[in-house]
Amino acid sequence: MGRRILSSSIRTFSWRTPSVLPGFGITMGFTLVYLGLLVLLPLAALILKAAGFTWAEFWDVVTAPRALAAYRLSFGAAFIAAAINIVFGVLVAWVLTRYQFPFKRFLDGLVDLPFALPTAVAGIALAALFAPNGWIGSILLPMGIKVAYTPLGVVVALTFIGLPFVVRTVQPVLQDLDKEVEEAAASLGASRAATFRRVILPVILPAAVTGFALAFARAVGEYGSVIFIAGNLPMKSEIVPLLIVIKLEQFDYRGAAAIGTAMLFVAFVLLLIINLLQRWSRNRMGGM
């Protein structure tokens, strides 16, 4: 009985102990109002606008052939781009972590360029490079490879904007990985491939998967860097964000809200997956 009273007193004391930054009630109130005005209110307005449809009408809009083609391109290209980035992003993170070479800091800062560069500027630059008369496009075109104004151009743009997510997620894990572990594996006779597969890969896998999910989620909603290189042909190279903009320009606000609500549901699912992956990553690292 005495122990229960003592533990209850300790919990009460710790709850009432003031924090370093006082004013929890005021700051929490401002936080809730701020998030409510900037996040919850616009999302609620979107859902209420789509609620003007009956369920059958809503389903017809979000599953129309043009919308399904846009879903396939957006999600398919985002998945391919994230898969490319998980390979080359890990490679870039490995080079930046394990080797010393001239202009390393410049290259490290270059990784963050897609974060700082306006998406429209990135789209124009990629379209100029991969156009049939561009520097890279003119080389690929004689080989029968056309990038600009095709779904392949969408993959290129999404790969460009998604690379930093994988690199910046994997890089801290590699920095914390002690090189002595690799040396111990080598001293026991393990080959480089076996060392990577059995020692390094299990450590970086949770971070790499998280980076993949972040890159995929970012690519699904990308607009600015895609529209300049995609060609924007309905049923062929039209992404979902562009379809929403087209419906708004046609004053089909409810149709745009319906497709936006469908994408909002997908975004919530992706956020849930990312949070679960991050929790799994923390638990895995804590158990090592």
- Where do the structural domains in the chain lie, given as residue ranges? 54-287
User: What is the Cα–Cα distance from 267 to 259, expressed in whole angstroms?
Assistant: 12
- Local confidence band at 163 (pLDDT 50, 70, 90 cut-offs): very high
CATH classification number, 54-287, choose in 3.40.50.10860, 3.40.50.1970, 1.10.3720.10, 1.10.230.10: 1.10.3720.10
Q: Find out whether 219 and 270 touch, Cβ atoms under 8 Å.
A: no
pLDDT, residue 93, reads 93
DSSP state string for 197-211: IIIIHHHHHHHHHHH
Report the range of poorest mean pLDDT among 7-16, 98-107, 130-139: 7-16
HSE, CB side, 13 Å, CA atoms: give it for residue 265: 8
pLDDT, residue 6, reads 44
CA angle, 241 then 275 then 22, to 5° = 105
Residue 117 has pLDDT above 70, yes or no: yes
| Residue bearing the bigger pLDDT, 176 or 81 | 81
Report the range of poorest mean pLDDT among 112-121, 266-275, 279-288: 279-288
pLDDT, residue 47, reads 85
| Residue bearing the bigger pLDDT, 52 or 87 | 87
Q: Cβ neighbours of residue 191 under 8 Å, at least 6 residues apart? A: none
pLDDT, residue 221, reads 86
Q: What average pLDDT does the chain have?
A: 84
The mean pLDDT value for 52-67 works out to 89
Nearest 10 degrees: Cα torsion 266, 271, 274, 278: -170
pLDDT, residue 2, reads 47
Residue 63 has pLDDT above 80, yes or no: yes
HSE, CB side, 13 Å, CA atoms: give it for residue 57: 10
